[in-house]
Amino acid sequence: MGSALESAWQYLTDNFSEFQLASFGSFILHESVFFLSGVPYLLMETWGLTKYKIQPKMNTPAAQEKCILKLLLYHVCVNLPLMVVSYPAFKYMGFTSKLPLPSWYATPFGLTSEYAHPAEILFLGFATICGPAITGPHLLTLWLWMSVRVLETVEAHCGYDFPWSLSRLLPIYGGADFHDYHHRLLYTKSGNYASTFTYMDWLFGTDKGYKKLKALKNGSQNCDEIADDKLH
């Protein structure tokens, strides 16, 4: 596996410049991971699968098409230029794409997740690459980090809460159910600003509305169960 990966990496570095790989290669990777990971959730909405959906509302095909077209526009006009202009900063901090590849122990760690105003995309994109830029990573490490972040943000905005969701296994992880509350009350003081770890919302009390809603839902479910038991 290691030698196959190194051979593939050697092919990339032999045929493309480091600048091309770091900018355009990173952009292609981002688009591939983002849209491919979002397709299953898009199909579930298209097919009307509601079993694990957090909100009953389904997006129309027209709304989905509008979202995808705007995403492509914003990604090309904001994300790609950001990746291009950030390359000198990465190089200054020691960024490299040369072999050998970093060891695995040394490597750190719904499509609407990036449907935002271009200014927000620019700010969040800068925040995402700022940390790796400071460390001067290998290109492979940067690509792995980027993939993890994209997968995380797509999952947090997918609109579905599955029994195998990470938030059910890791209490401090927000996930889709936690972050969905933030978008449900988008134009009010919604809270639940975290899409990954929830401790900051707990610390500043911005998760109180969400906790009250969960308590009401749990109370309603318990009442329904008691009523069903009495009927039987």
Q: SS3 sequence, 24-85?
A: HHHHHHHHHHHHHHHHHHHHHHHCCCCCCECCCCCCCHHHHHHHHHHHHHHHHHHHHHHHHH
- Residue 107 phi/psi, 5-degree rounding, is -90, 120
**Could you list the pLDDT tens digit for every one of the 232 residues in the chain?**
558 889 999 999 999 999 999 999 999 999 999 999 988 888 888 888 888 888 888 888 888 888 889 989 999 998 899 889 989 988 888 889 998 887 757 332 244 444 455 565 555 666 666 777 777 788 998 888 888 888 888 887 777 888 888 878 887 888 777 877 777 665 455 677 776 788 888 888 888 888 888 788 776 554 444 334 444 4
**What is the model's pLDDT at position 207?**
85
Q: Is the peptide bond before 100 cis (omega within 30 degrees of 0)?
A: yes
Question: What is the radius of gyration, based on Cα positions, of the chain?
Answer: 21
DSSP conformational letter for 77: I
**What is the model's pLDDT at position 224?**
46
Question: Hey, what are 214's tokens?
Answer: 């969960």
**What is the model's pLDDT at position 19?**
96
Taking the alpha carbons of 206, 212, 215, 221 in that order, is the dihedral positive or negative?
negative
